[in-house]
Amino acid sequence: MEETTTTTPAISRRGLLRLSLGGTAMASLPGIGWAATGAAAPAFADGLPRSRPEAQGISSASILAFLDDAERGAFELHSFMLWRNGHVVAEGWWDPYKPERRHMTHSLTKSVTVCAVGMAIADGKFGLDDKVVSFFPEHLPPTVSANLAAMTVRDLLTMRTGHESMVSGSVWRPIRTSWIAEFFKIPVVYTPGSKFVYTSAATYMLSAIVTKTTGQSTADYLKPRFFEPLGITGYEWDVGPEGISPGANGLSWKTVDSLKLGILHAQNGQWNGKQILTKAWVDSVHAPHTKDRYGYQWWLGQHGAYNADGLFGQYSVVFPEQNAVLALNSALPPKAGFNAGILYKHFPAAFGATAVASEKDYAALKARTRTLQLLPPVKPTSSPVAANVRASALTLRRTRRRSSRCGSTSLPRSLASSPWKTTAARTRCRSACASPSRAIPPLPATSCTTSTSPK
C-alpha cells in the first residue's frame, strides 16, 4: 500500500443526500483554478493543463445546466472534473471536500485492478483462457465441479463466473483466512460464460491471480507501471489475507486520480507519449461482452461512453468519440436515477466542435465553482441555559478552591461528574471545615438538564 503523502484524512461518503448549492468551488484555492484567458495554461500540481470550456468546444452554459439539474434533483455531489482535448475545462468541490482530499472509490477500484490484469497479460504472465483453478491448487476443495474447472480468467473479467448470486466486498472482510479458499466454496451453478452476475468475488480473484503470477500485490505491481507514470500519489489501498489487494474495492484516492484513469483510456492507453496500456486492451475493456452492458470491469453507458462506477456515485466516465472524460465523487443512493436523468442527459450533448464564447456565462461558471457547498453556512446561535451553565461552572471552580482550603484533598467524584447534583458533596465539604466563615453559599438555580458536564 502506498504511504500517504497528506495528513488530510479520507472523508466518509455519508452525507445528507441533499444539495444546498451556493455555486461551485475551485479558482480561489491555492494552486487550483481556471485559465482565465487564452494565454498558456499555468502549471498545476496535478500536471494537467487548464482551458476555458469554449476553447474545447463546450459552452459554459451547458456545464451550468448540468450543475443546475443536479441541484434541483437534490443529488449530493462532492466534486467534479471535466476534461477534453488535453485540458481540464471545469472543476469544483462542494465544501468541505477539497482537491487534495482522498475519497473512497468503492467499486471504481475494479477498473483500476483490470489495468493490472491487462499489463500482466501483456507481460506474458497468464492468458485470458487460463483456468482459474490452475493458479491455486493448494486452495482447491476436495471435489472440483466441472463448472468450477471450466471457469477462465475471461469469465472473471466479464462477471460470468457461473455463480448464482453476488458476493459484496463486505462479506469477506471479517474473514482472516484465505479469501481464495472462500471463492472456491461458492457453488458454480451455471456454466461459466453463460450468465452475467455482478460480484466482487470475481475481481478479487483477478487480483489474486496478478499476485500469484507476479509475486506482488496488485497495488505494488501497479505502482511503477500505473500510479507513478500518471503522477498519482497519496492513495491508499487495503491489503487482505495473503498480501492480496481486494481488487474489487478498498482504494481511496483524489478526484483528479479518477480523471487520470479515464484520460488514460480516452487516449488509448497512452500517457505523455508512453504506452501504459496496449490499445488492444483498452478496446477490449469497453467492448460489449455482455449484451451492451459490461466490458472488462467497466460498465457500458449511452452514446458509446463507458464508465468506472463505484457505489454511491464515484465515476470516471470516458467519452471516446468526443475525447472527453468526466470524473465525479458523490453520495448518491443506489438506483437514484443519476445516470439516465442527469449524466447522459447533459453529456456527451455538451461536447461540440466549437462553442460560442460568452463572457457572462463563463463569469457565472467561475463564480459558481468558487462557492459550492453541501450545507448553508453555519450561523452563530445561543442557548437559553448558557448563563446558568456558566454560573454552575464558576460555582464549581469556587467549590474546588474552598474544598482545597478546608482540607479536602480532592473534589468528590460525584461533584466532578454531575455538577448539578452537588448537595451531598457540599455537605461533605462543610463537615470538613472547621470555621463557619468558610461556609459555601447556595448554588444558583439552574434549569440545565443535559448529561454533559460543562467545560
Instruction: Give residue 390's pLDDT band: very low, low, confident or very high (50, 70, 90).
Output: low
Q: What pLDDT is recorded for position 240? A: 93
Residue 405 banded pLDDT, cuts 50, 70, 90: low
Q: pLDDT tens, 138-148? A: 999 999 999 99
- What is the band of 393 on the pLDDT scale with cuts at 50, 70, 90? low
Mean pLDDT of 335-364: 92
Report which of residues 385 and 372 the model is more confident about: 372
* pLDDT per residue as tens digits for the range 87-127: 999 999 999 999 999 999 999 999 999 999 999 999 999 99
For residue 336, what pLDDT is reported? 86
Q: Which amino acid belongs to residue 297? A: Q
Q: Which residues contact 262 (CB under 8 A, 6 or more apart)?
A: 83, 308, 316, 317, 318, 325, 326, 327
Of 236, 232, 235, 166, the closest CA to residue 204 belongs to: 166
Residue 67 host element (H or E): helix 60-72
User: Of the segments 31-35, 200-204, 373-377, which one has the largest average pLDDT value?
Assistant: 200-204
Q: Which residues contact 256 (CB under 8 A, 6 or more apart)?
A: 46, 48, 81, 99, 327
Reported confidence tier of residue 408, pLDDT bands at 50, 70, 90: very low
Span 355-379, mean pLDDT?
A: 90
235 pLDDT more than 80: yes
Q: What is the pLDDT of residues 178-233, one digit of tens each?
A: 999 999 999 999 999 999 999 999 999 999 999 999 999 999 999 999 999 999 99
Q: Which of 183-187, 240-244, 434-438 has the lowest mean pLDDT?
A: 434-438
DSSP state, residue 353 = S
d(CA 391, CA 389): 5
The pLDDT assigned to 10 comes to 41
Percent of residues, the chain, with pLDDT higher than 70: 75
Query: Over the stretch 274-324, which tens digit does the pLDDT of each residue have?
Result: 999 999 999 999 999 988 799 999 999 999 999 999 999 999 999 999 999
pLDDT band at 28 (very low <50, low <70, confident <90, very high): very low
Q: In the chain, how long is the greatest CA-to-CA distance?
A: 95
- Predicted local distance difference test score (pLDDT) of residue 34: 28
pTM for this model (two decimals): 0.76
Rounded (10°) angle between helices 60-72 and 359-369: 40
Residue 401 binned pLDDT confidence (cut-offs 50, 70, 90)? low
